[in-house]
Structure 1
Amino acid sequence: MAATTAIITSGKTRVRPRGGMTKKRALDWLLLAAVIVGALIVLVPFYLILVNAFKSPVDYATSGPFALPQAIDFSGIQAFWERVNFPQKVWNSIFISGVVAVLAVLISVLNAFAIGIGRVRGRTWIVLLFLLANLLPQEALLYPLYYMFKSVGLYDSVWSVIIVFTVVQAAFGTYLLASVYGTFPKEILEAASLDGATRWQILWRVVFPISRPTLAVLLIFFFIWTWNEFLIPLTFLPSNANQTVPVAISVLTGDRLMDVTTTAGAALISIIPTIIFFLIFQRTLTRGITAGAVK
């Protein structure tokens, strides 16, 4: 069948594509304009960081924040690197975020398996309780957690932050996975039970391999969320040796003075590890998000 149809009008032949619309509607153009504006709003902060990170203080004062640097200057990045011992801060953030991500996913799997597949009593109320743990503001947790960690000797220890974020992230993971495991095919579980598989074998040999893409997505998001946390690490890690990257950036600003070029350089090199992490696991993230779209 021909892809086009011929329309004869006043002795002339006009070819019109078959199917679809010949012109975009006004709504499509409005949506495209909204997407472009949203992209610009997102990209402007990155542009400011990238441009001002390579300026000298004199260049920033004369040309302003939006102008390109007259000469590439690494003094801001070098000042931040030396002032806060950046490699140590990166290691602290990687260690805390990595341990939290692994522990939170493991606890979420165990909790969700018991709630979603084990069918414990009061399943709905338990899931709502885990959801409420994510709705509490962090400011409400600081006072009791401060005295608790003081009393057990975990104040100014990275494990205090690891414990807090593991519980918070695992609460969200349990809420999400419990809903997923609640719809798990019963035929597969019954077949495994008839073959003599125990609960642990069903979890690690049946449920875990099938839900691996979802767990990979949770692992990536838990790592990034923990990396970007600021308030709790600022409160429980006062010593310079235990601080994370976001806390290290905050020490560059004062009440009446801020070194813009150094702060921009700090922001630039602080997001590089997360960008590298995202690029490494980008394919895993894409597969995990689209895993349930195709049967």
Structure 2
Amino acid sequence: MSLGQPKQQSQPKQLQTKDGVSVASAVVRQNRRRRTGTEWAALVVTVLVAVVMGAPLLLVLLNAVKSPQDFADHGPLGLPTGIYLEGIKTFWEAVDFPRKVWNSVLISSLVAALGVLISVLNAYALGIGRIKGRMWVLVAFLLATIVPQEALLYPLYIMFKNIGLYDTVWAVVIVFVVIHGAFGTYLMASVFSAFPRELLEAAALDGANRRQILWRVVVPVCRPTLAVLAVFFFIWTWNEFLIPLSFLVSADNQTVQVGIATLQGERIMNVTTISASALLGIAPTLLFFLVFQRTLTRGLTAGAIK
């Protein structure tokens, strides 16, 4: 028996490598090496998809810095012989681009903030409060999200004319807050309905009222999901065209998308200026997405409650 004890004590030492890494970790690494071919195939597919999706953006960038003569000589796929910024300058000055960007940022930010707020309040009553007729209310919100915008233009035009909000940013903000808030309510109601009742009961036993439970328990836990919802509301509002075109008539209140369309309708522009307008139109959205990419990743992968 005494001869067998040293062997039993020496086994744990053999389960570790020189770097102090267990054999289990080494086995995991070996398994990962065996899947290298699959991982490389997935990487190649991802790169190809990224190239296909990024090719139009690269084409717009090339033509935005290309002179009209370069475009005539080499076509849209040719490389520019020099950096030509007159197209960007022409568009910048013609539409008062900083003003249009400010209007788009203001409208999109207000819609994102107010839309998330209304979604949270409505979803708290439907998902956690469990009001009577909850299912029918959710169906009504779902139907509101699929109503065509064209069907809303005339009644909204009459209403905004009567209350004096026509040709103001608040007209667009109100419309999109209601539209996006209906979708957010439907989404967050399903999230709140699966909220752990233990946390709610523990907060109630500690003396928290319904308002404190919402803002101190529910909202902090669901913050990643709410951040993703706010990012989506911002991007969706930024890219909207029909409703801002219908309710923002004056140039001082127009958004970036409306300004691009208005300039193309009023003036005869060359291809480089049109490409410059497209580049400047999508650049703020792309920058916003890159800044909040980590927020989107955290929100989409959040599922555990600490």
Same-fold call, TM > 0.5? yes
Q: Does 1:118 align with 2:129?
A: yes
**Residue identity matched to 1:216:** A
Kept in 2: contact 1:100–1:166 (CA 8 A): yes
Q: Which residue of 1 aligns with 2:204?
A: 193
Kept in 2: contact 1:252–1:259 (CA 8 A): no
From 50, 53, 63, the counterpart of 1:42: 53
Q: Which residue of 2 aligns with 1:166?
A: 177
Task: List per-residue Cα deviations over 1:209-261 (Å, max 9, x = no partner).
Answer: 11111111111111111111111101100111000011111123249955221
Q: Does 1:205 align with 2:229?
A: no
Q: Pairwise mapping of residues 120-135 of structure 1 onto structure 2 (< 5 A)?
A: 120-135=131-146
Structure with the largest fraction of helix: 2
Structure with the largest fraction of strand: 1
Q: Does 1:219 align with 2:252?
A: no
CA distance in 1, matches of 2:59, 2:83: 15
Q: Which residue of 1 aligns with 2:87?
A: 76
Task: List per-residue Cα deviations over 1:110-143 (Å, max 9, x = no partner).
Answer: 0000000000011111111111111111111112
Kept in 1: contact 2:94–2:263 (CA 8 A): no
**Residue identity matched to 1:147:** I
**Residue identity matched to 1:183:** A
Q: Which residue of 1 aligns with 2:162?
A: 151
Percent of residue pairs bearing the same amino acid type: 60
CA distance in 2, matches of 1:22, 1:224: 37
Larger Rg: 2
- CA distance 1:178–1:22, change in 2 (3 Å): closer
From 83, 107, 113, the counterpart of 1:102: 113
Q: Pairwise mapping of residues 270-281 of structure 1 onto structure 2 (< 5 A)?
A: 270-281=281-292
Kept in 2: contact 1:101–1:220 (CA 8 A): yes
Structure 2 alignment gaps of length 5 or more:
1-13, 15-29
**Residue identity matched to 2:215:** W
Q: Does 1:251 align with 2:268?
A: no
Secondary structure at 2:76 match in 1:
coil
Structure 1 alignment gaps of length 5 or more:
2-17
Kept in 2: contact 1:154–1:160 (CA 8 A): yes
Q: Which residue of 2 aligns with 1:181?
A: 192
Q: CA RMSD in A?
A: 2.4
More divergent stretch after superposition (61-70 vs 274-283):
274-283
Q: Does 1:235 align with 2:246?
A: yes
CA distance in 2, matches of 1:36, 1:281: 22
**Residue identity matched to 2:264:** T
- CA distance 1:196–1:21, change in 2 (3 Å): closer
Normalized against structure 2, the TM-score is what?
0.84
CA distance in 2, matches of 1:21, 1:144: 63
